[in-house]
Amino acid sequence: VDSARKPLYDRLARRHLKGVLDELANRAQQPLTLADTASSMWLSPLSTGDERLGTRSRAFALTAAPLQQVLALYGQFGMEAQGILACARGFANGELDAANRLAEASGLYEPETDTAALDPKNGAHRSYFDLGTPADTKEYLQQQLQRAQVLAGYAEPFVRFLQNTAQPTVNSPESRQGTTFWLATINEIDRFIQGKDPKSQVAQLHDFVQKDLRDMSQSNCADTLMKPVSAEDDPSQGKGLFGDRRSGLSAQSADYCTSGNKVLARGDYRALAKRFNSELAGLFPFGPASNGDAPLAAVKRFFLDYAGQREGLRKKVGTAGNNKRWQKVASFLDQLDAAADFLNASLAAGVKSQPLGLDVGFRYLPGDGNPAQGGSSQLIAWEFESGDNIARYPNGETALNWQFGQPVTLTLQWAALSGYRPQADETQSHLDVDDRTASFSAKGAWALLRLINAHRDTNPGVADPLNDSRVIAAFDIPLKLQ
């Protein structure tokens, strides 16, 4: 039945019920108070990243179940909950990215390399990795597993929520990589701790470190790495932390065994990738828009440092080989170079960052294909605001500077005597409507990039043939007749 044709009492009852459900959903998303978490944090001093993620994980574990119940009620009563669901899933995915950064910063299962073992002058029997005695190695592995358990515990409430809810139909692209990675990690820990499974990825990683890696040297590396591996034992089949680290350690050992440029390239690249993964990966603009912002100071430091490494690293990677792994490294560096080219003239231009110079243009297009019947032709003015700078039409400049961190707003105005008015659209979070005006806003460290990302026109052939640096954004504004 069309909602407009339902009885008045039915519409009023549903409106009241929606208000109640909205309030319940809001309560279900409330974080823990400081009093709820102070005692556990006091007893277990943590790093800032651990403290933040641990607090959010405990809070989410308490709120996930009631939030899912409320979302189910929305569906039962035929009410729209896609916006809330997209927000909650975006938050959960963002926290899994935070867990990834903590795992990277922790250096899990990354034993120190004895660089002297890579120098032929020191003989062929010196172990590549400084793991000490068998007892030392066993203790090291236990510490690594305990740290992995802590991080998996942080991730679990977010993984379970993402498992138990469907991806929303609204425009909210998600990556399942974080969910798959942490679910596999949690399951493998359970297989090892609860099931005592010798075929678990944890057990196989520990066996590899104890039996192969601890004594691996130039004298035995070829034979050790040539050992046949069954499909069941292949570390590449593991989608979680432990299979990933066994694959990584095998590849690292293979590079040490072949020596030469691969060792130099891998060491430099690994340091760069580790820093990127622990400081920037997953954060916008290097990750989904649903995640938090990459701190401007951290981005600036990273790319200022990268500018000094860029040429030398490229040369080393170029001479290391052309297999799939090094092709992936080169592809990652291509992406870093593209970001560096953009940032080196602005944010990372030097000690003092420079603003981005913008030249703003605007054209309207009727949605119904008939200008005489559409209201788009009655749009009489627009403004693009960045901090105190404004580009406008008519009677204004179209050029302005945008400084990183400044909010941005595009405001469109219809004629006073027009019979058309813009109307709200709950699927567009950036859109605000006030009588004759419609505005699209974004804020945060990367506000301009967020606005462009949300509205970039990706239709084939949409580009300025005379200026390939021009970005085309499309703003869809529903109209109604007064």
Residue 478, preceding peptide bond in cis (omega within 30° of 0): no
pLDDT for 434: 92
Same domain? 214 vs 311: no
At 467, the pLDDT band (50, 70, 90 cuts) reads: low
Query: Token digits for 196?
Result: 């005592």
Q: Answer yes or no: do 202 and 292 share one domain.
A: no
269 and 412 co-located in one domain: no
Query: Which helix H or strand E contains 356, and what residues bound it?
Result: strand 356-359
Q: What is the pLDDT of residue 175?
A: 55
- How does pLDDT run across 360-380, given as a tens digit for each residue? 988 776 555 444 456 777 889
Question: Which of 354, 377, 410 marks a domain boundary?
Answer: 354
Residue 87's pLDDT is 81
Task: Assess whether pLDDT exceeds 50 at residue 427.
Answer: yes
Say whether both 279 and 314 belong to one domain: no
* Statement to judge: residues 231 and 98 lie in one domain: yes
Other C-beta atoms lying within 10 Å of the C-beta of residue 233: 16
Q: Is 360 helix (H, G, I), strand (E, B) or coil?
A: coil
Give 358 or 118, the one with higher predicted confidence: 358
Mark whether 62 and 200 lie in a shared domain. yes
What was the pLDDT predicted at 373? Answer: 53
| Diameter over CA atoms, the chain | 90
- Same domain (yes/no): 29, 61: yes
Average pLDDT over residues 249-277: 80
Domain boundary among 338, 354, 370: 354
Helices 241-258 + 177-193 axis angle, to 10: 90
Residues 95 and 38 in one domain: yes
Which helix (H) or strand (E) segment holds residue 383: the answer is: strand 379-386
Check residue 169 and give its pLDDT: 57
Residues 432 and 344 in one domain: no
Query: Tens digits of per-residue pLDDT, 198-250?
Result: 999 999 999 999 999 999 998 888 888 877 655 555 555 667 999 999 999 99
Mean pLDDT of 35-57: 59
Average pLDDT over every residue of 281-308: 91
Confidence of residue 34 (pLDDT cuts 50, 70, 90): very low
Is the confidence at residue 41, as pLDDT, over 80? no
- Residues 232 and 119 grouped into a single domain: yes
Q: Do residues 370 and 424 share a domain?
A: yes
Q: Which domain holds residue 61?
A: 3-283
pLDDT score of 481: 85
Order of all β-strands in the sheet with 408-414: 389-393, 379-386, 408-414, 437-442, 431-434
pLDDT at 186: 96
User: Length of the chain in residues, anyone?
Assistant: 482
Per-residue pLDDT averaged across 168-185, rounded? 73
Examine the domain organization and report whether 310 and 421 are in the same domain.
Answer: no
**Beta carbons of 212 and 224 less than 8 angstroms apart:** yes
Cβ-count burial 441-470 (b if 16+ within 10 Å, e if not): bbebbbbbbbbbebbeeeeeeeeeeeeeee
Check residue 287 and give left, alpha or beta (phi > 0: left; psi -120 to 50: alpha): beta
Is 141 a residue whose pLDDT tops 90?
yes
The rounded distance, in Å, linking the Cα atoms of 224 and 205 is 15
pTM for the structure as a whole: 0.65
Identify the residue whose tokens are 């990652």.
332
Q: Which residues pair with 432 in a beta bridge?
A: 439
Q: How many domains does the chain have?
A: 3
Domain-terminating residue out of 327, 354, 381: 354
Tokens of 351: 């000690």
